[in-house]
């Protein structure tokens, strides 16, 4: 075991050369890279810390705003409820007004329709009654309805009391004329008999005028100076209309009660 001094010094020189080369090619470079990475990571951490602080500040801001919102929430809720109730009341009022308006219009339309209906009913019923009566009289008694109507008119004239008859006689004597209005043409024979009755009861000189009028519902009337004797189906029709109206009214009331009951349910 000896030391070779040439090798000894060579190894020292080798070590020094190795140190120089490693310093140049390894340590300097690799430490530079490590330090650069460390600096980069440090910068990233600094940035992250900054971001974290910003996020924390934002979160705190958010929380405080949330607290403010929560504080104002109840008040907003109460106000919203009040507004909603007021709006609901307003809408209800408007709806009620609209309903009232529609109801009034509907009632008006109903009344108008009812009036039209009754008018039409009256007309149709008059015609029908007239036709039926005419046929019944003809079938059962062999009588002509028009003649019978005129006869009834004549019977009424004959049945007048003195007081009533004077109402007609006075104008007749002073030159007034009697107006006979019928819904039909009076047969000539019947007309002659009517003339006789009129001359006999009112005055011989009385002027008699006949006219056809559709306004008189299946009847005849005598007019003289504002006085009148008449027979027509009108009375019966009035009665029918009255009965019909009351029946319609009752039915409407029942329907209304039923509807109100359903609405309440």
Partner 1 sequence: MEVVGIDQISPDQVIFFAWHFVTINATLVYTWLIMALLVFGSIAITRNLSSDRTMSRWQNLLEVIIGTIRSEIREIVREGADSYFPFIGTLFLFIFLSNLLTFIPGYVAPTSSLTTTTALAIVVFFAVPIYGISKQGVTEYLKEYFRPVFFFFPFHVMGEISRTLALAVRLFGNMMSHEKVIAILLAVTPLFFPVVMQVLGLLIGLIQAYIFVVLTMVYIASATQTHEDAEHKPKVQQTT
When the beta carbons of 41 and 132 are compared against partner 1, the nearer one is 41
Burial grade of 201 (CB within 10 A; 0-12, 13-18, 19 or more): middle
Identify residues 235-254 at the interface with partner 1 (CB under 8 A): none
When the beta carbons of 16 and 86 are compared against partner 1, the nearer one is 16
Alpha-carbon span 217 to 22, nearest angstrom = 141
User: Closest approach of Cβ 66 to partner 1, in Å?
Assistant: 38
Task: Give the pairing of strands 207-212 and 177-182.
Answer: parallel
131 belongs to the binding site for partner 1 (CB under 8 A): no
Element housing 111 (H / E): helix 28-136
The interface region with partner 1, picked from 2-10, 92-100, 123-131, 231-239 by CB under 8 A, is 2-10
Here's the x/- map for partner 1, 21-50, by CB under 8 A: it reads as xxx-xxx-xxxxxx-xx--x----------
- Which residues, 6+ apart, have CB-to-CB distance to 167 below 8 Å? 227
Residues forming a β-bridge with 177: 207
When the beta carbons of 4 and 70 are compared against partner 1, the nearer one is 4
- Which residues, 6+ apart, have CB-to-CB distance to 178 below 8 Å? 168, 172, 198, 202, 206, 207, 208, 209, 222, 223, 224
When the beta carbons of 10 and 64 are compared against partner 1, the nearer one is 10
**Residues in binding contact with partner 1, number by CB under 8 A:** 33
The interface region with partner 1, picked from 3-11, 106-114, 146-154, 222-230 by CB under 8 A, is 3-11
Selection from 146, 153, 215 nearest residue 184 by Cα: 146
When the beta carbons of 31 and 115 are compared against partner 1, the nearer one is 31
Q: Under the rule (CB under 8 A), what is the footprint of partner 1?
A: 1-12, 14-19, 21-23, 25-27, 29-34, 36-37, 40
């Amino acid at each position: 075991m000896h030391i070779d001094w040439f090798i000894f010094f060579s190894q020292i020189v080798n070590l020094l050369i190795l140190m120089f080369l490693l310093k140049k090619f390894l340590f300097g470079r690799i430490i530079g890279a490590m330090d650069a990475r460390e600096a980069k990571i440090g910068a990233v951490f600094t940035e992250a810390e900054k971001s974290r602080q910003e996020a924390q500040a934002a979160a705190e801001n958010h929380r405080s705003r949330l607290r403010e919102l929560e504080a104002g929430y109840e008040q907003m809720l109460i106000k919203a409820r009040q507004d909603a109730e007021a709006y609901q009341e307003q809408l209800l009022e408007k709806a009620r007004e609209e309903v009232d308006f529609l109801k009034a219009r509907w009632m008006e339309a109903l009344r108008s329709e009812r009036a039209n209906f009754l008018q039409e009913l009256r007309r149709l019923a008059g015609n029908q009654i007239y036709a039926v009566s005419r046929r019944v009289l003809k079938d059962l008694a062999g009588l002509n309805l028009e003649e019978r109507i005129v006869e009834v008119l004549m019977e009424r004239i004959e049945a007048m009391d003195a007081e009533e008859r004077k109402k007609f006689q006075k104008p007749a004597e002073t030159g007034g004329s009697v107006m006979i209005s019928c819904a039909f043409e009076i047969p000539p024979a019947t007309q002659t008999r009517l003339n006789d009755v009129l001359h006999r009861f009112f005055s011989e000189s009385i002027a008699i005028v006949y006219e056809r009028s559709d306004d008189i519902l299946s009847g005849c009337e005598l007019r003289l100076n504002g006085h009148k004797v008449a027979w027509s189906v009108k009375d019966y029709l009035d009665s029918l209309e009255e009965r019909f109206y009351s029946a319609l009214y009752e039915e409407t009331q029942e329907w209304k009660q039923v509807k109100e009951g359903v609405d309440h349910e």
